[in-house]
């Protein structure tokens, strides 16, 4: 049995970016496992000022990571995907005990801190060990569209796995990827040549999956009422510019019954 391993920086990224892809793989009899990398439970008694502000924005839940793990596990159980949570901490909590490396929005959405340059190597070694004994493995790593440092670390992990001969597909971080220009910029900045692949998806299934991440909907989509249209519009628009030609956001013509897609990218050189 072949297996798809989705590297998900946070406890919702795989569903947001690859939910349709996972449903299609499962329907085809492929085993699906989501690996939530930065899913560790931090020491809530020792947080940076920035982390405390984030917690306040979330309404100061007593244990937000345990709650998000439970939410993610429940959502993925419904579709029969496996889940594996790693204990690495989200950027805002690193390193445990401080002094913290990412202390504001720009740092969190910026380059990998010099102290963490070796992090992708560590994660790639863990992935490599995990794949031993598995048959017909395909890894999925984010392109890091949007630029979150945890996504960059996961992307660079994917680059290392690719260089080591693993089969790796890179997915578009949603909903950041709805800003098409940023997808093009990330692809260009990598200095690789890329080939896109579209996967037709069950759009209703994806929307239902994403909706299960109740705690994240407002933060991710701005407003819960935008969840469905944001997902639907992007998935339909991919059919019109599958290779990002011109890097323009396509204007959707009135299609009677649009086909919905998710896009992944393979490195060709
Ligand atoms: Zn994320």
- Residue 221 C-alpha to ligand 1 middle, in angstroms? 13
Neighbours of ion ligand 1 (CB under 5 A): 9-10, 13
pLDDT of residue 256 exceeding 80, the answer is no
pLDDT of residue 211 exceeding 50, the answer is yes
What is the pLDDT averaged over residues 194-205? 95
What is the pLDDT averaged over residues 215-232? 93
How many domains does one find in the chain? 1
- Residue 5 C-alpha to ligand 1 middle, in angstroms? 16
Give residue 88's pLDDT: 98
CA angle centred on 10, ends 75 and 244, rounded to 5°: 95
Non-local CB neighbours of 260 within 8 Å, separated by 6+ positions? 20, 200, 201, 203, 206, 232, 235, 236, 238, 239
CA distances to 19, 113, 266 from 138, rounded to whole Å, are 16, 29, 11
- Residue 46 C-alpha to ligand 1 middle, in angstroms? 22
- Residue 193 C-alpha to ligand 1 middle, in angstroms? 25
The pTM (predicted TM-score) of the whole model is 0.95
pLDDT of residue 253 exceeding 80, the answer is no
pLDDT of residue 183 exceeding 70, the answer is yes
Give residue 250's pLDDT: 54
Give residue 252's pLDDT: 55
CB 168 within 8 A of CB 139: yes
What is the torsional sign of CA 177, 238, 214, 24?
Answer: negative
Range with lowest mean pLDDT among 25-29, 69-73, 221-225:
221-225
- Residue 111 C-alpha to ligand 1 middle, in angstroms? 15
Looking up residue 49, the CATH number of its domain turns out to be 3.40.50.10320
Question: For residue 184, is it left (φ>0), alpha (ψ between -120 and 50) or beta?
Answer: alpha
Structural domain including 212 reads 3-267
Tens-place pLDDT, residues 114-142? 999 999 999 999 999 999 999 999 999 99
Per-residue pLDDT band at 16 (split at 50, 70, 90): very high
CA angle centred on 47, ends 220 and 152, rounded to 5°: 45
- Residue 1 C-alpha to ligand 1 middle, in angstroms? 29
Give residue 247's pLDDT: 47
pLDDT of residue 214 exceeding 70, the answer is yes
Give residue 238's pLDDT: 87
Tens-place pLDDT, residues 51-88? 999 999 999 999 999 999 999 999 999 999 999 999 99
What is the pLDDT averaged over residues 237-241? 81
What is the pLDDT averaged over residues 147-153? 97
Per-residue pLDDT band at 7 (split at 50, 70, 90): very high
């Amino acid at each position: 049995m072949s297996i798809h391993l989705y590297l998900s920086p946070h406890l919702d990224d795989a569903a947001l970016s690859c939910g349709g892809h996972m449903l299609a793989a499962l329907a085809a009899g492929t085993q699906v496992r989501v690996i939530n990398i930065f899913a560790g439970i931090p020491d809530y008694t020792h947080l940076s000022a920035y982390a405390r502000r984030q917690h306040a924005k979330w309404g100061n839940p007593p244990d937000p990571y345990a709650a998000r793990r439970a939410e993610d596990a429940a959502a993925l159980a419904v579709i029969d995907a496996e889940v594996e949570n790693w204990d690495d901490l989200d950027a805002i909590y690193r390193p445990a005990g401080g002094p913290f490396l990412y202390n504001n929005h720009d740092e969190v959405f910026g380059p990998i801190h010099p102290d963490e340059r070796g992090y992708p190597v560590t994660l790639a070694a863990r992935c490599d060990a995990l794949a031993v004994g598995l048959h017909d493995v395909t890894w999925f790593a984010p392109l890091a569209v949007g630029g979150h440092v945890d996504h960059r670390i996961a992307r660079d992990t994917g680059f290392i796995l690719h260089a080591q001969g693993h089969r790796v597909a890179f997915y578009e971080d949603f909903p950041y990827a709805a800003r098409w220009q940023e997808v093009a910029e990330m692809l260009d900045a990598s200095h690789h040549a890329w080939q896109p692949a579209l996967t037709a998806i069950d759009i209703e299934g994806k929307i239902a999956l994403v909706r299960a991440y109740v705690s994240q909907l407002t933060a991710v989509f701005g407003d819960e009422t935008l969840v469905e249209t944001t997902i639907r519009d992007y998935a339909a628009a991919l059919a019109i510019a599958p290779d990002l030609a011109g890097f323009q956001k396509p204007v959707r013509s009135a299609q009677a019954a649009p086909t919905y897609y998710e896009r992944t990218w393979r490195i060709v050189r």
